[in-house]
Structure 1
Amino acid sequence: MTAVGQAAWDGLNERQRIYLGVLFRVDQELGGEQRRLAARGRFASAPACVWRRVDFNNRYGPVVSVLETQGVYDGVPDPPWLRCASVG
């Protein structure tokens, strides 16, 4: 990790780190699924911004279930960094 990246990571609180870690894993799983489909000849023509969309509000989706097991999901639809950005 670069010094700039490390400084950004160090500036996050534990809750923000958990959210980013979960989102990274979900994103990587979505990319893996697209590669598996393409390997079977079922390549999606949709752009990545469509199939990489991560849903925070799906109560039964992968993001919410993992955040709940981590003890950081509070049912608020906005991710914590949006709340931080609005405060300043």
Structure 2
Amino acid sequence: MSYWLYILRCGDGSLYTGITTDVERRLALHRSGKGAKYTRGRSPLTVVYREEQPDKSAALRREAAVKKLTREEKLALIAAGK
């Protein structure tokens, strides 16, 4: 089963990074207020980046690496992914 690293742009302009097996389902959870506590009250939420990973372990490692990036580095990653 493959996993996805994803980045959301929140309504306040902040970025949220997470992993899932189904990005659209996870986005629906975030939008309903049942996703991460951070995204509650920060609508609208938009997926701005997604990256497939071969397994959960790889996805967790990649998530940790992306979370260590500066905002500018994350924006460059998003721009390069489009």
TM-score by length of 2: 0.25
Larger Rg: 1
Query: RCO (CA 8 Å, sep 6+): is it higher in 1 or 2?
Result: 2
TM-score by length of 1: 0.24
Larger helix proportion of the pair: 1
